[in-house]
Structure 1
Amino acid sequence: MSIEETIQKAVQEAMQPLEEKLDKLTVHDDPYPRRLTVKEAAEILRVSENRVRELANYVEGFPSTRAEGEKSRIYIPRDRLYQWIENNHELIP
């Protein structure tokens, strides 16, 4: 095996775990935007929009933010919602 082949093999072996980690971090083909509306979050959770508002207003740790200057508009970060679902599935009917 030549030195070039040895280097190429070493680089491939070093890159493989990094590529696997990147694949786990990347959400492929997700139809939802990174910042969800209440309606979009309700679709994902399969609950009513009112239930999403209740979660945002009363459940500690539910990932939501309010738009600057708009006290009634709620947004939910998509990736944080997915993580919240994994950790709190018992709160969803």
Structure 2
Amino acid sequence: MDALQRSQREFKLLFVYLHSPDHPDAPVFCAECLCSTMVAQFVNENFVCWGGSIRGSEGFKMSNSLKASRFPFCAVVMASTNQRMALLEQRRGQAYIANSYLK
């Protein structure tokens, strides 16, 4: 994954957003939380960002790797050995994520 390699080169953690287009909370979460100026600025300044839909092959693989079962799903990972990644933190569900990041 290019984003994971980039995060390693830039000495930053990787922020992952997994999108489920069928989930009813996805549009509101994207518009009001993920795209808010405060969250977008913080994430873009401090992380390498990667996002994917669970309908796409890369997003589906990432969803399985991170064992994402509830959405919206955000995680912070870091590069590990042999192009693997280590999960440092995960948040899932709109109310939980919004309360965690916007305080």
Q: TM class, shorter-chain normalised? A: under 0.3
Bigger strand fraction = 2
Bigger helix fraction = 1
Structure having greater relative contact order (Cα 8 Å, sep ≥ 6)? 2
- TM-score normalised to structure 1 length: 0.27
Q: Which has the larger radius of gyration?
A: 1
